Every structure is written in structure tokens, then in C-alpha cells.
């Protein structure tokens, strides 16, 4: 669960970290799309920028099955909520980040109303699974229509995640 949350926050904080001279995006990913991490800020709408961003989101999304399986094991209601709320915030944030050039030029966050809704409606696994399913479907609709290995892999991760709810 920690990796899912941490990777999501690293993606979200791209601009803040770039401006502060910090680099948390893994070079083994971004080097496939640019020779310098700041290039994404200079060309936020460029195909390489968006493909790198989507690759980063896909990398975070790859932990989703483990998150859901772990949450299903938590029996104590308060501990469950303590664990579920940040994970729901993370997947909601990934929906906002995916294929969004604003990541490179501004701060991208979920709406406060959505954050409140998630906090108030995560007391059991059925509610949490409802929101995970909702956000999985939203991110699936944002996958670019052109074919490449990352888009294909993202679709595979989504299909794998959907199977958890059947």
C-alpha cells in the first residue's frame, strides 16, 4: 500500500520537486522519453511528455491489486478506514494525473468535495471496492486510442484489477 501511495505522490509533485531541484521520478522510466526531466515542463503537451506521465501512472497502478487484497484482510473498522482513505485518495488522484499535461505546469489535485465524499464513505470493503471500481473505469476511459506497449499494459492492469471485483 505504501508504494502505491508514494508513487502517486511522486507523480503529482513533479512540478514542485522540479522547481525545488529535487528529482524523485525514476530515471529508468523518464530517460526513455527525454534526456532531461525538465523537458516535460518545457513541452507539457508533447507526446513524449504524456507517454512518460502515463508510464509513471501505470507503474503506480501496478500495485492496485495488492492494495485491494490487503484492505480485504483488515478487520478492525478504524484501522480499515485509516488504511483505505489514503488509498482511495491515491487512485482518485491517479485519475486526475493520467494523460494530463497540467501535471507538468501546475498542481493537480482532487476536488475537496470528492475528498470529503471518500472520507465519509469508506467504512467497509464494499464501499471502498465501489470507489475503486468507479475510478478504474474512469482511468480506462482516458487511455489514449493509439496503440503502444504502455497503453496495452495499462489496459491489462485494468482488466486484472476489474477481475478482483467479480
Q: How many domains does the chain have?
A: 1
Q: In what helix (H) or strand (E) does residue 132 lie, and over which residues does it extend?
A: helix 125-141
Q: For the domain that residue 135 is a member of, what is the CATH number?
A: 1.10.600.10
Q: What is the pTM of this model?
A: 0.96
Note the pLDDT of residue 166.
Answer: 79
Residue-wise pLDDT for 31-83, tens only, equals: 999 999 999 999 999 999 999 999 999 999 999 999 999 999 999 999 999 99
- The grid coordinates of residue 18 equal 522540479
Phi-psi region of 109 (alpha: psi -120 to 50; beta: other; left: phi over 0): beta
Does residue 114 sit in helix, strand or coil? helix
Give the domain extent around 40.
2-163
Residue-wise pLDDT for 113-134, tens only, equals: 999 999 999 999 999 999 999 9
Q: What average pLDDT does the segment 130-145 reach?
A: 97
Does residue 51 sit in helix, strand or coil? helix
Q: How far is Cα 30 from Cα 78, in angstroms, rounded to an integer?
A: 38
Cα–Cα nearest to 25, from 39, 36, 14, 38: 14
Amino acid at each position: 500500500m505504501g508504494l502505491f501511495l508514494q508513487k502517486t505522490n511522486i507523480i503529482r509533485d513533479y512540478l514542485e520537486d522540479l522547481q525545488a531541484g529535487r528529482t524523485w521520478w525514476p530515471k529508468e522510466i523518464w530517460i526513455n522519453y527525454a534526456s532531461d526531466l525538465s523537458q516535460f515542463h518545457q513541452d507539457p503537451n508533447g507526446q513524449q511528455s504524456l507517454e512518460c506521465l502515463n508510464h509513471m501512472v501505470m507503474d503506480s497502478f501496478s500495485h492496485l491489486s495488492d492494495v485491494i487484497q490487503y484492505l480485504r484482510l483488515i478487520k478492525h473498522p478504524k484501522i480499515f478506514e485509516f488504511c483505505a482513505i489514503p488509498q482511495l485518495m491515491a487512485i482518485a488522484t491517479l485519475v486526475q494525473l493520467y494523460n494530463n499535461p497540467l501535471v507538468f505546469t501546475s498542481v493537480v489535485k482532487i476536488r475537496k468535495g470528492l475528498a470529503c465524499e471518500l472520507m465519509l464513505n469508506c467504512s467497509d470493503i464494499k464501499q471502498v471496492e465501489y470507489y475503486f471500481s468507479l475510478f478504474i473505469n474512469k482511468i480506462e476511459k482516458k487511455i489514449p486510442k493509439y496503440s503502444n506497449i504502455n497503453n496495452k499494459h495499462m489496459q491489462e492492469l485494468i482488466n486484472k484489477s476489474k477481475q478482483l471485483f467479480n
